[in-house]
A = this chain, B = another copy of it.
Amino acid sequence: MIKLRPLPRNLALLVVVTTMTAGAGPATAADDEPPLTALQRAARSDDRFMPRLEVLSDDVGARLAGSPALARAVEWAEEMLREDGHVNVRREPVAVPVWVRGEERLEVLAPRYRSLAVLALGGTVGTSGVEAPVVVVSSFEELSPAVAGKIVLFNVPMSAALPAIEQYGAAARYRADGAARAAGHGALAALVRSVAARSLATPHTGGVVYLPGVARIPAAAITVEDAAWIARLAARGIEVRVRLELGAHALSDAISHNVIAEIEGAERPDEIVVVGGHLDSWDVGQGAHDDGAGIVQAIEAMRLIRQLGLRPRRTIRAVLFANEEYGLSGGKAYAAAHAGERHVAALETDLGGGRPRQWGATGTPEQLAFLARVAAPVGVAVGAGGGADISPLGAHGVLLIGLYPEDGPYFEVHHTHADTFDKIDPVEAREGLAAVVGLVWQLANEPTGAP
């Protein structure tokens, strides 16, 4: 851990004096700067955002649920939140499945030998070696009994000319469900073209979902380049034969932790605004965009509110979820433990540290109207959407809000070795922080009552 220089006190003092005692009233700045303005200004010059993300990225690094690295991330997060002086700083246990990548190898045996970059999909079974010709398909509809005894390659391209987020869901289906669908037709293994529009020979992992009663076959991602190559050869009638070895295996379930901290509400402490992201990442890269940026935005949003001495009407609760990537058990555990509480809204950042573009929200018409009203001064438009970690709260009627930043860089690097600290643009990521802290403040301090 590095020791970090505290924010200059004079900045904090400027806006604090009256608000610390104002208690139930709306927080205002000593020099008449409204709290929202002061918070967003502080966010844009936050000198801890990057050092904290650097430590999470560089010292902790990749942190899959159940791993020792995630345990270090939990410790780090608790330490930051305590250092910042929050209340009710705690960890809450989350049972997580544990999966280990192991050694992996994908070799092309024909038409000529090549060793390809490969990343097993999270949760896949291992194989000591499966060898077969490849059948290339670009949709589930192309699967047939002809793939029996073969290895299926799902080659579903994304276009760099279209926004990634509009294509991601459709392409990621093949990553999640390809193995089960191919196994249903007798395939021996599934390969998936990495879910990305732009690649520099960069495989992307992600989770695979098996189905009850369907054979669990090995599943792995290859690069966009290699998938395109195999597809071109297949289109010319050239058989591609490969051998896949995956050391992937499951271990016993383990306990990871959601990390929680609060700024207690002055007027309505039982009304809770959640701000969070997921502390885990896939087991490659540093999880800098996915979701280190979101985690540090949540931590820094909390710190700036406290640093400026602002006391919100409602309670603001940071929730750093233990496990999003490998089965969402962090979000599920939080909802199971806390759904009975009065959540006014849950806000999540999990699309990277890019420049904010819009909020994506899910809720009742009244909740969405409330959001539109409180979000208006924050300077980011509202659209439809949400977030994975907070989604289990949706079933309990909680207003769900996700930050949707410019996500081109995020989708290029997420789930890869390239999701590293150097990919974070500090100006853009702090602009995201300004949006997050602004909206959290508005949600927590709105005076007339939330739906």
Of A140-148, A223-231, A435-443, the one contacting chain B is: A223-231
Q: Mark A282-318, 1 if CB is under 8 A from B, else 0.
A: 0001100000000000000000000000000000000
Residue in B58, B61, B201, B224 whose CB lies within 8 Å of A232: B58
Tell me the dominant secondary structure on chain A's binding face.
loop
Residue in B201, B413, B420 whose CB lies within 8 Å of A416: B201
Q: Which residue of chain B lies nearest to A112 when distances are taken between CB atoms in the complex?
A: B61
Q: Nearest Cβ distance between residue A52 and chain B, in whole angstroms?
A: 13
Residue from A54, A199, A202, A422 having most chain B Cβ neighbours under 10 A? A422
Assuming A417-B117, A422-B224, is B201 touching A58 (CB within 8 A)? Answer: no
Find out whether the CB atom of A418 lies under 8 angstroms from the CB atom of B232: no
- Asked if A200 is at the interface (CB within 8 A of a chain B CB), the reply is yes
Query: Which residues of chain B are near A198, meaning CB under 8 Å?
Result: 200
Residue in B111, B233, B416 whose CB lies within 8 Å of A200: B416
Find out whether the CB atom of A233 lies under 8 angstroms from the CB atom of B202: no
A286→B67 CA distance, assembly (Å)? 37
Q: Which residue of chain B lies nearest to A157 when distances are taken between CB atoms in the complex?
A: B422
Residue in B59, B111, B420 whose CB lies within 8 Å of A225: B420
Query: Which residues of chain B are near A111, meaning CB under 8 Å?
Result: 59
Q: Mark A208-238, 1 if CB is under 8 A from B, else 0.
A: 0000000000000001110011001100100
Q: Which residue of chain B lies nearest to A230 when distances are taken between CB atoms in the complex?
A: B58
- Asked if A412 is at the interface (CB within 8 A of a chain B CB), the reply is yes
- Asked if A421 is at the interface (CB within 8 A of a chain B CB), the reply is yes
Q: Nearest Cβ distance between residue A418 and chain B, in whole angstroms?
A: 4
Find out whether the CB atom of B228 lies under 8 angstroms from the CB atom of A420: yes
Interface size, chain A (Cβ < 8 Å): 32
Q: Nearest Cβ distance between residue A299 and chain B, in whole angstroms?
A: 20
Q: Nearest Cβ distance between residue A10 and chain B, in whole angstroms?
A: 27
A280→B418 CA distance, assembly (Å)? 29
Query: Which residues of chain B are near A114, meaning CB under 8 Å?
Result: 61
- Asked if A395 is at the interface (CB within 8 A of a chain B CB), the reply is no
Q: Nearest Cβ distance between residue A339 and chain B, in whole angstroms?
A: 37
Q: Mark A395-434, 1 if CB is under 8 A from B, else 0.
A: 0000000000000000011001110111000000000000
Q: Which residue of chain B lies nearest to A227 when distances are taken between CB atoms in the complex?
A: B422
A416→B422 CA distance, assembly (Å)? 20
Q: Nearest Cβ distance between residue A199 and chain B, in whole angstroms?
A: 7
Residue in B225, B233, B413, B421 whose CB lies within 8 Å of A418: B225
Extra 15 A-B pairs, beta carbons < 8 Å, given A58-B233, A200-B413, A232-B421: A2-B236, A58-B229, A58-B232, A59-B111, A200-B200, A200-B201, A200-B418, A201-B416, A201-B420, A223-B417, A225-B420, A228-B420, A228-B422, A229-B286, A229-B422
| Leading 10 A-B pairs by shortest Cβ distance | A201-B417, A201-B418, A200-B200, A200-B202, A200-B418, A225-B420, A228-B422, A201-B202, A58-B232, A2-B236
17 residue pairs A–B, Cβ–Cβ below 8 Å: A2-B236, A54-B232, A58-B232, A59-B111, A200-B202, A200-B412, A201-B202, A201-B416, A201-B417, A201-B420, A202-B418, A225-B417, A225-B418, A225-B422, A228-B422, A229-B422, A232-B421
